[in-house]
Structure 1
Amino acid sequence: MKSIFLLPGESAFCKEPAQISTLLGSCVALVLHDPQRAWGGMNHFMLPDARDGSGLAPGKYGDKAIANLLKVASMSGCKIDTLRGRLYGGARVVGHLASAGSMDIGQRNIDCAEKLCREAGLRIVQREIGGSNGRKIFFDVTSGVVEVRMIQQSAQNQEAAQRRERLTGRRLRVLVVDDSATVRRLIAAGINASNDMEVCAEAENPYEAREQLLATDPDVLCLDVIMPRMDGLTFLRKIMQYKPIPTVVVSTIAKQGSAMHTKLMQAGAVAVIDKETLNLYRTADVMERVLLPKLRQAAHSVVQQRSAD
């Protein structure tokens, strides 16, 4: 029996015995089967239409992929009232099965497929859609049987999915730690001016920061290095042992390639930014382009607890 594996954007329609398979995360596959002729086909699309991203091959868009598969079936002699449709995929996934914006793109792919099939008059007899796990799909064209094997997420991917769920629909909360009141004010002004972040607390040293971490439970930490009573590197190492939190370090002594930069990354920082590049005293433009994206990225990251050196 012929075996066909579909990549995103591909489709196949067979009039002879064959097994068509694919691997789905947030993508969706439409399976067609004509039980009278024992023919069938499948597609695999990534996005509902070109509005969700231009420049991809037509088959990667749901509106094109579904129309094309139905057209091929019709040209082969199948009638829409004899075809049976099945929908698979559309999961909310992270990790290697995720596509850009996949925390909501899966449902939009499902909605697209449902709408187009309904408009075409195609009867959907089975749905294995949504959820938070990927799927392996195996379609026997002759019998019409579809085998679905769920792909279990790793513990880290499950934690990342849960974290993204918690952050959905609200502003990211940032704790700013710097011994300079002026620097804290400038960074806080830039964060609070954004549409999706806010400063939940400020601290001028790690001891105050420890109390604020417990009191406000921020999503991400913006941390200086040179501070009184305890330096930022020592503090980062301590919190990564006891209360890990995504951290972006902003410091004048942690330039790219420096020993301090390396130590901070090894201690668990998600990103390290040279404070001088932000031009805090001149313009907010650089902070919007450099610091804010790093804070967003960090807030959605999963950081692991570290052991003492």
Structure 2
Amino acid sequence: MNAAAVPAQSSDAATLLAAPSRHFYFDTTFRRRAVKILPGEFHVSTDDTLLVTVLGSCVAACIRDRVRGVGGMNHFMLPARKDAGVLSASMRYGTYAMEMLINQLYRAGARREQLEIKVFGGAAVLPGMSTIDVGERNSRFVLDYLREEGFPVAAQDLGDVHPRKVYFSPASGDIMVRRLRASALPEDLAREASYARQLDNTASRQAIGGGLQLF
């Protein structure tokens, strides 16, 4: 397993949004080594480690160099702010999460012209968010970001009201998505709701023009 190193960040927002996952386990369904990606995390692999995440309103991008077999997954959410546009203060959080994953893939040997990108999540499952459809905003953001950056989307499964469990094998490119009942995932959805509150608290402390350094 080869996880790309991440430079130290001074911003609390950057730390919240771009932590490499360390949640390794043995997946009994597929009988192989796996790593679980939690909200605000990403992982890059150059071997056959399975990347796994559970998504409610969050979005995951599964990105793979289809020639070299290096690939990675992130798991991110935008703060529940109402400003719009890919370069707005709110959208910069998602932009940072995407840039971190893509740049770490490049460092691991991936080539831009060989990237295959598939995106998942963005369901309407978070309680107490009825006035702001977080899942829809996350879904719209990731598609807008990829279009603005000139990356084609090979596949997508976004929106609806069902949480998803995503299994991604960077080595082969295989992805399996299971739609789940929200009642079956109280711990995962509680973790996502807590993450959303942390994002909003962090966003409220950030000046509109500062906080995150994009590259």
Pair in the same fold by TM > 0.5: yes
The answer to whether structure 1 residue 37 and structure 2 residue 68 are counterparts is yes
Q: Cα offset for 1:99?
A: 6.1
Displacement after TM superposition at 1:80 (Å): 1.6
Equivalent residue number for residue 123 of structure 2: 91
The correspondence of residues 1-309 of structure 1 with structure 2, limited to 5 A, is 1-47=32-78, 51=81, 61-93=93-125, 98=126, 101=129, 104-153=133-182
Higher relative contact order (CA 8 A, sep 6+): 2
CA RMSD of aligned residues (A): 2.4
SS in 2 for 1:123: coil
Distance 1:50 1:63 in 2: 15
**Distance between the aligned counterparts of 2:39 and 2:113, measured in 1?**
28
Provide structure 2 residue ranges, at least 5 long, that are not aligned to the other structure. Answer: 1-31, 84-91, 184-215
Q: TM-score, normalised by structure 2?
A: 0.61
- How many residue pairs get aligned? The number is 144
Distance, in Å, in 2 between the alignment partners of 1:143 and 1:9 is 25
Structure with greater Cα Rg: 1
Gapped regions of structure 1 (runs ≥ 5): 54-59, 155-309
Residue 9 of structure 1 contacts residue 61 of structure 1 at CA under 8 Å; is this kept in 2? no
- Counterpart secondary structure, 2:113: coil
Q: Counterpart of 2:35 in structure 1: which amino acid?
A: I
CA offset digits 1:55-107 (Å, max 9, x no partner):
xxxxx9311111111111122221221100001000111xxxx2652661111
Counterpart CA distance in 1 for 2:143 and 2:133 is 16
Q: CA deviation at 1:150?
A: 0.5
Are the structure 2 counterparts of residues 13 and 104 from structure 1 closer, same or farther at C-alpha, using a change threshold of 3 Å? same
Q: Percent of aligned positions with the same letter in both sequences?
A: 35
3-state SS in 2 of match to 1:137: strand
Moved over 3 A (4+): 49-53
Report SS of the residue matched to 1:36.
coil
The aligned amino acid for 1:87 is V
Residue 38 of structure 1 deviates from its aligned partner by: 1.1
After superposition, the C-alpha distances for 1:193-226 in whole angstroms (9 at most, x for unaligned) are xxxxxxxxxxxxxxxxxxxxxxxxxxxxxxxxxx
Give the match's secondary structure for 1:107: helix
Could you report, residue by residue, the CA deviation over 1:91-134 in whole angstroms, capped at 9, with x for unpaired residues? 111xxxx2652661111101111111112222211001111100
The structural deviation recorded for 1:152 is: 2.2
> Hey, which of these two has a bigger chunk of helix by percent?
1
Counterpart residue identity of residue 8, structure 1: P
Relative distance call for 1:40 and 1:151 in structure 2 (3 A) is same
